[in-house]
Structure 1
């Protein structure tokens, strides 16, 4: 599994690290530029957003044909480790696409919807840039210290973005998020301290070699996992998620649900695969929490009265599918682990694109109708077909219907569970699909009410409509091209 994570000693050094630094720093620099220029149109953001994608293409060309690249950054006595392989390239591309979509959506949204205060608009851009850079650091980092730095930068910038609306409710929800995030950070830092004190190193590949099974290792892994699951809003540590999304700006909710909570999952899974790869019983316990997350989040989404709360509770449910990676990858045979590996990361990418598109489309519907409640969608199919189409296409991937990427991902996870004889996880996938369909069709039930009373509606700016539609199309149609990301994942190493 160490090869799959790009941590193999066989990974070759990179001759020119300029592309690596551009991938890390360019989003932050563009965010600072946005704070100065404060773009009110979409096209300057689109032009600037191509630069990180070009840098990522340059980085990909240097990794092509290899199992990965790795290296170190020496800052005096401090040594930080990094790696690039197929998995990290896929996560970087996902980050840039969702980040660019949120940035393209923002100018019209800030101008025509929230009419944000000047200071809020100014802070949005550098915080967004720093958030994307911190996510890139997490995908590339290969030691616990770098991961901690990326995790803290990501958490603090996410809290800052959540506080930008300035309303009392947003401040209360954001400060609660900050408090719980700090508790998670403290637990993570304590786990790092135990690792460093016991084995004297923090690089992931080195820890995988020297860490000795025992109580100390389990206490450290427990602290690390607990802190990460709190930050990821994994059931039952999800209490902060729905309130912050209820009051956050729409582009902030899109990037948070699509990317931020996935970073903590990414760190937790690779720590388990490296440090406790045979902990089958503990992995099954996490699988039980995954099943509870799928059911509880699905039921709450079905019963929620507000549109954004439906999408937020759906995130709690969908995260349960990712947590199934623990019982399907830990202590299973190579064939099952291979299918689960591909299905897990494809599910992460599919959910990231679809959930970001759902939040953007939901924002369009709320802007158009002026109603935050689900009942306010009455007649939307006739008056706002494009926004509803975007929401529906994204929902197809969330439910897991063909030809979406979500269908391909769930099919791989189902195949892994079937190959391993894990009937419990098959039931979780089946029940989750039914619950997803239930809350999605509930929304469409209201939108197709034809005898809704006439009301005043606002026009949605075309950039907001277009961005939501393109992101939903990506979540839907990339299922037909799933072989490309799967090839990247298979190229991450020869053995699962």
Structure 2
């Protein structure tokens, strides 16, 4: 039994983090569809408490915590593992999912007779399913279980994207499903190759047994291609703009803020935890180049969009591109890899909160104006100051301006690219920031104009409060202390390779 397989104190919390939302789904069905909204929102404080407890255990132990299901360690059993990044992502999920739920209450409320409509029942069940699937993604230590988690995530996210049943949302959801299923096939083929070569899919055991072989290279290529399709990295992004732009605002917030991070998280697990022993074969440069193309393409497309939600959706493609700079900037054991790692993780966090806030604000704009056409925003910021303040604060993080979390992320990535002599990524970061400033300006400039405007309905104050809180969290991430980055380093594979604590 390796140290990575030894169960640790607090490991049972990992199983509880998965079981809590799963139990909520079962209870919702068992109660005949009367209480899924109450169950989803009522369980949120417990989910947050569990995520914080897991984070505390990881910090206290100073190493990843492990739980062996049924007491059987790999390869006979299945292990759940949580390192610093896993713990933080559980906290992020436990914050954004209930925030979207609170925002959605007037849109998917329980009818007076207590029985949910089909639309409302679907929304609350899928919201809990996404929580459960993401928990499995973040703590699973087995590549096949991660495949199952990604499928659960897909089959929860697709109904959420088309929950309103409009023709355009159904078409977008079917395209999303097609890309996701093709990605799943590629991933599963790669996993089968790894299992045939090494007899296990446990991440810790694979890392020990990994050796160069044509089957390993083929598996890495297949699995990566499948994950990129699910993450919507350019040029496999075609499903994302219509799916995110046409979904209800709270669904868009969860899809953009969290769901696409699941497959990205698994890509990181694959390349940093399973395959680092392979000789450099250019995958890190390829992923960095695709990420750079996504930054530039997504930003230019965002500048051209006439609708606010489409603009935000295309900016998601650009911000996803920044995530993939972690591969060339955090690989190996070098003085700059800690900056690259922390910058990539911080970009995940800042984008999650900023983009969730912006999609919720966009939903409020649509409700109040009856449309989201940017060229008709004249005077809207004066009528809806908190909503457009949220858009501005979210945009601040997307641009990478201080003191936001986006600034901290891009500053760390910029420092890593300069320290490593990889100047091309620095140019991409600077160009992406300028382009982001352009499309954020496109939103705010007409809205701040002095012009009369008549609102279809006043913005919901509770919805504004939720969206603004998420935007403020995105900004507050820029003030994280050094201890937070030490937490992110717990379990970082480069440290383990170097034999450091």
The verdict on a shared fold, with TM-score over 0.5 as the criterion, is yes
- What residue is the counterpart of 2:401 in the other structure? 401
- 2:347 paired with 1:347: yes
**Map of 1:251-330 to 2, 5 A cutoff?**
251-277=250-276, 278-279=279-280, 281-330=282-331
Distance 1:261 1:356 in 2: 12
For structure 1, the residue ranges without an aligned partner over 5 or more in a row are 1-6
Are the aligned partners of 1:29 and 1:129 in contact in 2 as well (CA < 8 Å)?
no
**Deviation digits for residues 141-192 of structure 1, max 9, x if unmatched?**
1111110111110011111111211011111111111111111111111011
Aligned residue in 2 for 1:487:
486
1:19 to 3, 13, 25: 13
CA distance in 2, matches of 1:153, 1:235: 24
Deviation (angstroms), 1:362: 1.0
Paired with 2:282 and 2:36, the residues of 1 have a C-alpha distance of 52
Alpha carbons 1:45, 1:104 under 8 Å: kept: no
Q: How does 1:60-209 map to 2 (within 5 A)?
A: 60-66=55-61, 67-74=63-70, 79-110=77-108, 118-209=117-208
Change (3 A) 1:243 1:155: same
Cα 1:456–1:357 change in 2 (3 A) is closer
Counterpart in the other structure of 1:4: none
Change (3 A) 1:163 1:327: same
**RCO higher in 1 or 2 (8 Å CA, sep ≥ 6)?**
1
CA distance, structure 1, for counterparts of residue 13 and residue 218 of structure 2: 38
1:414 aligns with 2:414: yes
- Is the 2:108–2:119 Cα contact (8 Å) retained in structure 1? no
CA shift for structure 1 position 250? 0.7
Q: Distance in 2 between matches of 1:274 and 1:205?
A: 8
> Matches of 1:481 and 1:325 in 2, distance apart?
20
Cα drift, residue 68 of structure 1 = 1.7
- Does structure 1 retain, via aligned residues, the 8 Å contact 2:299–2:435? yes
Work out whether residues 379 and 451 of structure 2, in 8 Å CA contact, stay in contact via their aligned partners in 1.
Answer: yes
Shift of 1:286: 1.6
- C-alpha separation between the residues in 2 aligned to 1:209 and 1:197? 16
Name the TM-score, length of structure 2 as normaliser: 0.91
Displacement of 1:275:
4.1
Q: If the length of structure 1 is used for normalisation, what is the TM-score?
A: 0.92
The 1:269–1:38 alpha-carbon spacing in structure 2 relative to 1, beyond 3 Å, is closer
3-state SS of 1:164 partner: coil
**Offset at residue 16 of structure 1 (A):** 5.3
Alignment RMSD, CA only?
2.2
Q: Deviations over 1:373-420 (max 9, x none)?
A: 112322111100010011111111111111111111111100000100
Shift of 1:110: 3.2
SS class of match (2:106): helix
Give the whole-Å Cα distance in 2 for the aligned partners of 1:126 and 1:38: 7
Take 1:213 and 1:337, find their aligned partners in 2: how far apart are those partners? 23
Q: Distance in 2 between matches of 1:324 and 1:269?
A: 11
**Closer/same/farther in 2, CA of residues 16 and 252 from structure 1, 3 Å limit:** same
In structure 2, stretches of 5+ residues that fail to align are: 111-115
